[in-house]
Structure 1
Amino acid sequence: MPESTPAQSRSLTDWLCYLETQHHSAIDLGLERVAKVASSGQLCHSKATVITVAGTNGKGSTCALLEQILLAQGYKVGVYSSPHILDYRERVRINGQLPEEREFCRSFTAIEALREDTSLSYFEFGTLAAIWLFAEYSLDYVILEVGLGGRLDATNIVEPDVSVVTTVAIDHIDWLGDDLAHIGREKAGIFRQNGKVVIGDANIVSSVLECAQQLRCQQLAAGIDYNVECLANSWSYTSQALSYHNLPYPLLPLSNAATAIATLEQLGLDLDIASLQRAISQWQLAGRLQTLSQQPLVIADVAHNPQSADYLAKQLTLLAKGRKIVALCAMLNDKDMQQTVRPLLSLVDHWYVSGLSGPRGDDGSALAACLTSAANVVRFETVDMAYNAALSDLDEQSMLIVFGSFFTVAEAIKLSSAQA
C-alpha cells in the first residue's frame, strides 16, 4: 500500500510491506534510533520480570520451555521471538496465544506516530511494536529472544532481570564476524552490571564467562554452577541450591531444557517435579524436528549452521529407526554450507538440493558444490519442485528431512498442509 495511505486503514499485510521499505538496510545493528523512539513513548517501563535470551542456537526452544513452565504455574507471559515461519503473528505470543491482526496494526500505528522522522529497520519496528503490545497487558513475565548478536540488537534496549546466553558458534558472519571470542562478547552484551545471568553451554567460549566476571554478575553457568547427569531413562539437574531428578528426555536439546531450569532458578522459582516433568515431555516448537507427515515420515528442522546441523544429525540416527534418509536442503548464500552439510553426509542416502529466492538466496549451485563427495545429488530450481520429487521417491523404508533455512521449512510446511 502506498506510504500516503492512512495508518489506521492499513491491514497487517499492508503494514509489513510498508515496513520493508522504510529503512536503507534490512539489518542495521545499533541502539540509538530504537532507544530514542522507545524513550519518547516510555515503552520500557514495564513492571513485568524480563528474561532476555541470546545465543547462536537454542534461543527459540529455551524461550518456548520457559513460557510453557511459567504459564503452567499460572503466570501471565509474553514472548517475542523471530523469525516467524508462516505468519508474522508468530513473533509475539501473549499468554500462549497469537495476537489478532488488528492488535498488530494498532501497535504499528502507535510506533509510526512515535518515531516521527526516525528511520527504523523492519526488525526494530517490530520489536518496538511487541514491547508496545506487552504494555497493553498486565504481564508477570516478558521473554525476549535476541534477533542477532546481543549488544546492538534492538531487544537490548529493555533492562533484563535475567540475561541468558545459550550457545556461541559461527553464524551471521557478515554482521558478527568469524571470531568466536568476539561473537561471545557481542552476545554477552545483554549482561548487566551485578545482574543475574545464565550460561547454557558447558563448553562456552571463555569471552562470555569473562564478561560475566568483569560485570560482577550473579552467574549460573553449565558445568560450573549447575550440572546435568544423564542416566539410562532419565536425567537430572543439580545446582548448589536445587536438584531435580527423573526428568524425561526431550526431543529438543537437553542443554536448552537445563538452561531454562537454571533461568527459573535465577528467578527464585522452585518448581514441583510433576509440573516440570510434564512441561519437558510436552515441549515442542514449530520448525524444530517438526513432523509434517507420518506416512511417509517427513520431518522439518530449521538447522542452518554447523552447530544446529550437528544436533540434527544426532537426532536423525534415533528418528530414522533403520529407514533410509532422504534430505531436502536449501540454504541462504551467507551461510557456511560446507560445514553445515558435513555432519549429515554419512547419514543421507539421497540429496534433493533446491534454490531459494530473495537477495540472500542461493540458486542451489553453491550448495550442490558442497556435496560433490555425496552420491545421488539432484538439484531443483525451487523448494516445491524438490519437495514433490522427494515425496514421489519415498516409501515405507525411507524418511525425508527438510532443513537448511527458515524459508525452506516454511515452504515445506505450506506444501505439506496443502497436500494433507
Structure 2
Amino acid sequence: MIGSPVSSTFRKYSRILGLSLLFEIYSIKDLPIVTLVMNVVTIYQEILLHPRNSPFPGLNISAVNIPHPIRRSRLLDLHRGIRLTLSLQILYWKSIFPWSGIPLNYDDALQFLSGRHAKDMKLGLENIRSLLARLDNPERRFKSVHIAGTNGKGSTTAMLESILRESGYRTGLYTSPHLVDIRERIRIGGVAISRRDFLLEIADIQAAAEETNASFFEILTAVGFKVFADRGVDIAVVETGLGGRLDATNLITPELAVITEIGLDHTRILGTDMETIAAEKAGILKPGVPAVIGTQITAVKNFFEGEGKRRGAVLRYVMDSVKTENIRLAESGTLLNAWVGDRRFRDLRLRLLGAHQVENAATVLLIVDELRSQGWAIPERAVYDGLAKTVWRARLELLQIAPKIVLDSAHNGLGAKRLAHAIEEIFLYRNLTLVFGVLSDKDYGTMAEILFPLADRIILTRPDNERALDPYILAELPVCRGLRIEISEEIGRAWEFAMKRTRHNDLVCAAGSIYFVGEILRLMGENACGE
C-alpha cells in the first residue's frame, strides 16, 4: 500500500471491510469478482492519497506511517460507530456501482450540488415538500424562528442565534448564500458542520433529491433541517433564501416569524414595487404564529397590518415597541441605549458596525421580548454578551487597520446607502480605493451613483459568478465620467492592484456582491465557518 507499513489495526479494519463485501457479493450474480476487487483497490487509493476528502475519520497517511497504537485505535472507536457504518455503506455501494454517482469525498458532494445548481430555478414548495416527506419530515422535529426581509435578515439572524447560544440553548443556524465554504449555511452552536458530516448528509439525501428533482437550495434546506432534527437542537434560527411565500424554508411552523426591512431587490422574481415584494415576504406569516416586523416605513407597516389580519397572525412592530437613544458609532463597534416596553438596556455594545445594525439590534430586542413572553429563558446578560460577540463576516467588516480594509456585502441600493453612510461617518482615512464587482441582475446603476463619487480610485472587476456584470459596462455609466476608473477582470489581480497603490493611512473597500467579497475573503486566506 504505497510502500508504507500497515498497522495491525488497519489490517483488521481491512479484513472487516473485505468480509462485509464478500458477504454481500453473493447477491450480485453478474458482477465479475475482478471488477469488484479493482473498484475496492481504487477506493483505498483515493482514501490514502486524499485523506482529507475521506469519509473515514481518523484514517490518514500519518496514522499508517507513524507507529502509534493510540492513534490507530481510533479507527475502531465505538464512539464513531454510527458514522463509520454510514461511511462503509457509501464505500460498499461505490465499489459495486462506481457509476452510481454516490459521493465518495467532499469534492464529489460539491460536484453533485453544482449539477443541481445548474437547473433552472423553479419557485414553489412541491419539490421540497416531497423531499422532506421522504426524510420523515425533519422540519417538524425542531423549534425555530423564521426570518425574512430584503436587508438586515442575515445580521438579525446572526445576532439572535448568538443571544440564544449565550442563553445556554443548543442552537441551529441556517443562512444563505455562503461566502467561502458551503458549510457556512448549516451550523450547530455557531460552528459549521464538518466536511465529513456534510458528505454523509449529502450521500444520505442524494437518492431522494434525485427522485424529487430537488434544486440546489432545496437540497441544502433539507440537509439543514435534517441536521437540526437529528442533532436535537433546542431552537434553530432559519433565514429565508429568496422572498418568503415560495421559499424552500417556508415549510417550518416556527415559534415566531420575523420580517426585517423591505427594499427593492430580486425585482425580476419578486416584483418591482414595495407592496409586491412585501407580499412575498408576508408569505411566511402563519395562523396563530406571532410575528415581529422590522420596517421603519409607515406605508409598509400599514400593508403588513392588513396581511396579519388576513392570515390570522398577531404582529408586533419595532417602530412602535423599541426606542433607541445615545447611539455612538465607532470603528471598534457601536454603543447604544434601548427601551423595549418597560425594560431598559444601557450601553449595549454591538460588534457589528454601522447605524443600520442599530435597527437590526432593535428588531432582535423585540424578538427576544416575544420569545421571553412564550417562556424562553433568555437572561439579560445573554443579550449583552450575545450582541457583543456576534460575528457576521463581510458585513461592514474591518479586517485590517493599517491600511484599513473593509469588506461589505452591499448588493442593492439600500445596502449601498448604508455602506456610504458608514464610510462618511465611521472610518477615518486619507484616500479611499473602492474595489467593486456586481451581478448583472442587481440595480448596479443606483449602487454606482451612491458609492462611486466617494472614492478617490475605483477598480472594477468581475465576480466569479455566471451572472457577473462585465466591468466595462459599469465603466460606461454616466456617473463614471471624470472619476479615476481602472478595470481588472480577474479578482486576484484587481485586489493586488488595489493593495499596491494603498498607503498605511488609506482605506480599501470591497463591495457590490456577496459572491465577490467572498472571493476576497478566500484570497486573504479567511473562512467564515466559525471554526
- For Structure 1 versus Structure 2, the TM-score category normalised by the shorter chain is over 0.9
Alignment of 1:8-407 (within 5 A): 9-22=103-116, 25-44=119-138, 46-115=140-209, 117-203=211-297, 205=300, 206-224=302-320, 226-231=321-326, 233=328, 234-240=335-341, 242-248=343-349, 250-252=352-354, 253-268=357-372, 269=376, 271-370=378-477, 371-373=479-481, 375-407=483-515
Q: Deviations over 1:347-403 (max 9, x none)?
A: 211111112344211121222223424510111112112111111110123110000
Q: Whole-Å Cα distance in 2 between the matches of residues 68 and 280 of structure 1?
A: 7
Give the drift of 1:273: 3.8
Q: How many pairs does the alignment contain?
A: 416
Q: Whole-Å Cα distance in 2 between the matches of residues 238 and 294 of structure 1?
A: 34
Pick from 396, 403, 410 the counterpart of residue 518 of structure 2. 410
Q: Whole-Å Cα distance in 1 between the matches of residues 344 and 280 of structure 2?
A: 32
The aligned amino acid for 1:254 is: V
Q: Whole-Å Cα distance in 2 between the matches of residues 241 and 212 of structure 1?
A: 25
Bigger relative contact order, structure 1 or 2, given CA contacts below 8 A and separation 6+?
1
The TM-score normalised by the length of structure 1 is 0.92
SS in 2 for 1:102: helix
- CA 1:218–1:242 in 2, change beyond 3 Å: closer, same or farther? farther
- CA 1:9–1:344 in 2, change beyond 3 Å: closer, same or farther? closer
Q: Deviations over 1:119-155 (max 9, x none)?
A: 0110001110111111111111011110000000000
The aligned amino acid for 1:218 is: V
Give the drift of 1:116: 5.5
Check whether the contact 2:262–2:278 (CA below 8 A) recurs between aligned residues: yes
User: Identity rate of aligned residues, in percent?
Assistant: 28
Q: Deviations over 1:30-70 (max 9, x none)?
A: 10111011123222454432101111111111111111111
Please, which runs of 5 or more residues in structure 1 have no aligned partner?
none
Check whether the contact 1:228–1:238 (CA below 8 A) recurs between aligned residues: yes
Give the drift of 1:281: 2.5
Check whether the contact 1:394–1:400 (CA below 8 A) recurs between aligned residues: yes
Give the drift of 1:241: 5.7
Check whether the contact 1:44–1:158 (CA below 8 A) recurs between aligned residues: no
Check whether the contact 1:15–1:105 (CA below 8 A) recurs between aligned residues: yes
Q: Whole-Å Cα distance in 2 between the matches of residues 274 and 374 of structure 1?
A: 52
Check whether the contact 1:60–1:81 (CA below 8 A) recurs between aligned residues: yes
- CA 1:48–1:261 in 2, change beyond 3 Å: closer, same or farther? farther
- CA 1:16–1:231 in 2, change beyond 3 Å: closer, same or farther? same
- CA 1:26–1:14 in 2, change beyond 3 Å: closer, same or farther? farther
Give the drift of 1:209: 3.2
Q: Whole-Å Cα distance in 2 between the matches of residues 373 and 211 of structure 1?
A: 45
SS in 1 for 2:480: coil
Give the drift of 1:5: 4.1
The TM-score normalised by the length of structure 2 is 0.74
Q: Whole-Å Cα distance in 2 between the matches of residues 230 and 111 of structure 1?
A: 49
Q: Whole-Å Cα distance in 2 between the matches of residues 87 and 116 of structure 1?
A: 23
The aligned amino acid for 1:221 is: Y
The aligned amino acid for 1:66 is: L
Give 1 or 2: higher helix fraction: 2
Give the drift of 1:114: 3.0
> Considering only CA atoms, is the larger Rg found in Structure 1 or Structure 2?
2
Give the drift of 1:245: 3.2
Q: Deviations over 1:145-187 (max 9, x none)?
A: 1000000000001111111111111111221121210100101
- CA 1:95–1:248 in 2, change beyond 3 Å: closer, same or farther? closer
Check whether the contact 2:395–2:408 (CA below 8 A) recurs between aligned residues: yes
Q: Whole-Å Cα distance in 2 between the matches of residues 174 and 13 of structure 1?
A: 33
- CA 1:84–1:26 in 2, change beyond 3 Å: closer, same or farther? farther
Q: Whole-Å Cα distance in 2 between the matches of residues 94 and 344 of structure 1?
A: 37
Q: Whole-Å Cα distance in 2 between the matches of residues 228 and 279 of structure 1?
A: 20
Deviates more, 1:38-47 or 1:253-262: 38-47
- CA 1:292–1:322 in 2, change beyond 3 Å: closer, same or farther? closer
Give the drift of 1:86: 0.8
Check whether the contact 1:291–1:297 (CA below 8 A) recurs between aligned residues: yes
Give the drift of 1:272: 4.0
Q: Whole-Å Cα distance in 1 between the matches of residues 118 and 490 of structure 2?
A: 28
Check whether the contact 2:164–2:378 (CA below 8 A) recurs between aligned residues: no
SS in 1 for 2:115: coil
The aligned amino acid for 2:229 is: A
RMSD of equivalent CA atoms? 2.2
Please, which runs of 5 or more residues in structure 2 have no aligned partner?
1-93, 329-334, 527-531
